[in-house]
Chains A and B, each alone.
Chain A
């Protein structure tokens, strides 16, 4: 049986059809055994679920009041400022980025490696591009003069003579 036919039977059972349709459907049920069987099954189900067989539930409050209470709760929750939960005190949150930047800066400044030199950076000369380091472990101040002075050692052995 087609779905449309089933829906027509259901509408007939619920008195949702016109009188002309009702007569036509009643005639159809009388002629068609399958339609009759389905109609009776639907009718039996409807009878079983009618108001007399349902448990009566009494709401403690009216329908409108119940839903307005929910609406008020939603409105109140939306109006409250969002609280950001942070387990850390404010001063740690304030100092954490500063401390991170300081650690990074110290790491960069104390780990400068240039042309084979590692040490504690002090300064770069703007005039001659020389770089000054200090190594506390070796107790040495190093002034690294960039290339261009290759001839310094070249004739050292001659001067020894």
Chain B
């Protein structure tokens, strides 16, 4: 009898507890990084730094280039349906829109739209927009959904 009285309250509490994180994760924390890939160990520009060994290992696991350097990285939190422009270079901009369970990314080269993608939000899963560049080098824009605090 006593158990029958508490059971609906217990279920309600469990539902609220489960729903709370869902509401909290509607915000998207996104990191965008522009990386340059080359076979030359030292780049001409001394300001750009090598990527972390972990990132280098992941990139080398897919791409052929030996060395990877961070050109610029930016992070931002996006509310539901918010749009954020990540300006990674004069000619490279990524526009990210938070669609809650997915995000849309638009890559612009100069002002020209090069590519639009829609990706599911999965922490630990990166999306790489990439292409070949001059002198057998390549550029990479890595979009990394970051776990919310």
Docked CA distance A141–B119 (Å) = 9
Query: 1/0 per residue A106-136: CB within 8 Å of B?
Result: 0000000001111100000000101001010
Cβ–Cβ contact A138 & B65, under 8 A = no
Cβ–Cβ contact B47 & A143, under 8 A = no
B41 at the interface (CB under 8 A from A): no
A22 at the interface (CB under 8 A from B): no
**Chain A neighbourhood of B40, CB < 8 A:** none
Count of interface residues, chain A, beta-carbon cutoff 8 Å: 33
A160 at the interface (CB under 8 A from B): yes
Query: 1/0 per residue A1-16: CB within 8 Å of B?
Result: 0000000000000000
Docked CA distance A128–B112 (Å) = 13
B147 at the interface (CB under 8 A from A): no
Having A133-B62, A145-B107, A152-B34, one finds 4 other A-B pairs with CB under 8 Å, namely: A118-B62, A128-B115, A140-B128, A150-B132
Q: Which residues of B contact A (CB under 8 A)?
A: 34, 36, 45, 47-48, 58-59, 61-65, 71-72, 87-92, 107, 109-110, 114-115, 117, 119, 124-134, 137-139
Task: Provide a sorted-by-A list of 10 A–B residue pairs whose CB atoms are within 8 angstroms.
Answer: A118-B62, A139-B125, A141-B127, A142-B130, A143-B127, A150-B134, A152-B139, A156-B90, A157-B71, A159-B72
Q: Which residues of A contact B (CB under 8 A)?
A: 115-119, 128, 130, 133, 135, 137-160
